[in-house]
Each structure stands twice: as structure tokens, then as C-alpha cells.
Amino acid sequence: MSSDARLVRALVGCYPPVWRRRYGEEYAQLLCDMQVHRRPRLVADSLLGAARAHGGALMSGRPSFALPVWAAALFAAAGIGFAKLAEDLSGVATTAHAAVIVAAAVALLALAVAAAPAAAALVPGRAADAWRYVAVPIVGAAAWCGVARVAAAATAGRTVHSGPNIAAFALIAVTGLGVLAATAWAATRILQRVPLAGPGRLRGSAVTAMATGMAGATFAVLVWGLRVRATDAAAFHSDQGLLATPFVSSWLAVLIALCAASVLGAVAARHHRTAP
Amino acid sequence: MGEELGRWAEPGLLVLTSLAEGAKHGYAITMDVAEQAGVTLGPGTLYAALQRLEQRGLIEGLPAEGRRRPYRLTAAGAAELSAQAERMRRLATLSLDRLQVRPT
């Protein structure tokens, strides 16, 4: 195979499978006709088109729960980061801290309401093959607990900022993120297999409430960080937990993750509100 | 010229305009648009537009000729293009009229 043909094949391969089945052959011919191997701008345009097609696949057809689920997974990861960040700063900015918890509860409760009809459809066994995905979070959580116990045992007696302790923390964090991602993936697979039940207006309202809760939690975390700084400037320099010590970096990382989750949630809400 | 056309160089509108002349496959559309409007439609941009127009029922794919598939305007596509062109014509007329009476 020539390098030109390989480039064309690679560019077509960047598109989603459904898109390739419909347009792949004619698109490959167009790339050949346009002599794309001689025109880097067209290669970039094709890659952008592939990215848009992936985005379109996520947003097309019936309103998908993939976006709310991934938004919730990102939100949960940021929420755990916030909990670790705030655990050493108890008694500071308590109102903003409570607001974070309330907004997060609203967001996750709304997601549960949005997904409830799908869960109800799962129980009577109308999508028997979807049950195997339920094992993913259970096995993942058990594996994560095992990793955390081993890491804790291996670092017993070490100081907070010692090398082994940092490595153990990183292992626990990465494993936890992996379990969250696997759970989100399993949830989307389940939701693809069960019928999208329940009134569309309720679903749209629930996803909107979820996005609103996420945005509220993001704002509350912003206020919380500012209040912590105003109330106890030493919190930025003290030798506390692994996340709390580089406070500003950790706080910004949590805020960015919450913002990203809120944006994903808002996009999902818009899609669910406008979908038929 | 493509940049000068601004929002009127929207790929979907250019594709509809090209297909108003008759059915064309992807490469023929890019050549026609480049020649008539001075806009180079990249392959990703073109097929994003084709997919969107097809999903909205404004164009339809014809049986493939080898590896090339021609597309043609549907009745809905012709109506949409006509409405857009009429809107553009009204706006162009209004703009020119107001520019003529503008105090110097």
C-alpha cells in the first residue's frame, strides 16, 4: 500500500464506524481526488471533520445519556478532590462548604431522577444483557478498596510528604479515576440497551436540574476557596494533606474539573430540552 | 473571496447552491464552489455539510457511480435555498438602498 493510500485510510479511519459505513468509500475517493497528501490544510480539515462527526455521534439521534453520565463522573471526581482538599480545613468557610454539598446533592439526585426510568426498565429484565455491566462498578469499587488497603499498609508510619506516601496516593487516585471512568462507561452501555422510558419533559427538567446543581457547586467551590484565603491565609502555606498543601493549584484543578462537568451538563441539558 | 463572503459562505448554503445546477458528487461540488464562489471547501467541512443537509432532507444521495456518490437537491432543499436567496436579496437591496442615501 502506498503512503498516499495509507494516509487516506488513516483519515477515513478517524471517523466513527457508523459514519464510515455510510460515507467512508465516497469520502476516501474524495480525498484521493483532492490529492489530500499534498495539502496539509485539507488533512487538518479532515481531522476536524472527524472530531465533529464524533461529537455529532454523541449528540445525534435520540437524546443520549452519555453526556450527563460523563458529566456526573467528572463531577464526582472533582467532588472527591474537593472533599480531600477541604478535610484539613474544617471550620473555615462553613456556609460555602455546606452550599457545595447541597448543590452536589441536587445535581446527583437530579441525575438519579433522570436515569430512574431506565433503571426501572432494567429491573424487569427487559434488557438482560445489560446486567453484566452492573458488575463493573461493584468489581471496580472492590478492586479500589483492595488497592487502597494495600497502599495504606505499605505506607504505614510514613510521613505525609514522603516519596512512598505520594506514590501510594497517586496509585489510589489513578485507580479511583479508572473505576469512575469504567463505571461511567458501564452506565452508558446499560442506558444504550434499555428503552428510553418516561416523559421527555421530566427527563429534560432533571438533566437541567443536574446541570444547575453542578454550576451551583462550582460557584460555591469558588466562593469557598476565596473565603478560605480571606479567613486563613496560612492555609496556603501550611504542611497539611497532599492536596491541601499546594492549596491554590489543587483548588484551581478542582474548579476547572467542576467547570468542565458543568459545561458538559449544560450541553446535555440543552440537548435534552430541545430533543423531540 | 471566501472570507469576503462571511456568513454567506456557510458550507451548507454553498453546497445547496452548487446542487441547484444539477446532481454532483463531492469532488465536483468542491470544484464548482471553488470556481463560482472562490471558497475552498475542505473534505471534512464538505461531508459535515452533506451529512447535515441529508439528515434535514434538503439533499439526497443517488446510487453510487463507482466510488463516487452524486447528491441532488430535494424539493425541500430547493425551497430552503430559494427562501435563503430571497432573504439575502432583500438584505442586499436594503443595504444598497441605505448606502445610497447615506449622508457623506
pLDDT digits (tens, 9 = 90+) for A168-204: 888 888 888 898 888 888 888 777 666 555 566 777 8
Distance CA A68, CA A211 (A): 8
B28 touches chain A (CB under 8 A): no
pLDDT digits (tens, 9 = 90+) for B29-53: 999 999 998 888 999 999 999 998 9
Q: What's residue A203's pLDDT?
A: 77
- Whether B61 shows a pLDDT value over 80: the answer reads yes
A27 touches chain B (CB under 8 A): yes
ipTM: 0.86
Which of the two residues, A228 and A157, has the higher pLDDT score? A228
Return the minimum-mean-pLDDT range out of A68-77, A228-237, B67-76: A228-237
Interface size, chain A vs chain B, as Cβ–Cβ contacts under 8 Å: 65
Grid coordinates of B71: 447528491
Coil, helix or strand at residue A246: coil
Query: According to CATH, what is the number of the domain B2-101?
Result: 1.10.10.10
- Whether B82 shows a pLDDT value over 90: the answer reads yes
- Whether A266 shows a pLDDT value over 60: the answer reads yes
Domain definitions of chain B by residue range: 2-101
| Mean predicted lDDT score pLDDT of chain B | 87
For residues A17-36, average pLDDT:
91
Closest CA–CA distance from residue A110 to any residue of chain B (Å): 32
Using alpha carbons only, how large is chain A's radius of gyration in Å? Answer: 23
- Inter-CA distances, A264 with A189, A269, B35, B92, Å: 19, 9, 40, 39
pLDDT above 90: percentage of residues in chain A: 17
Grid coordinates of B7: 456568513
Grid coordinates of A102: 447541597
B48 touches chain A (CB under 8 A): yes
Cell 466513527 belongs to A16
Q: What's residue B45's pLDDT?
A: 92
**What are the DSSP E strand ranges found in chain B?**
59-61, 71-73
Chain centroid offset of residue A71 CA: 5
In what helix (H) or strand (E) does residue A12 lie, and over which residues does it extend? helix A3-13
Q: What's residue B74's pLDDT?
A: 94
Return the minimum-mean-pLDDT range out of A172-176, A212-216, B92-96: A172-176
- Whether A60 shows a pLDDT value over 80: the answer reads no
CA atoms within 13 A on the CB side of A200: 10
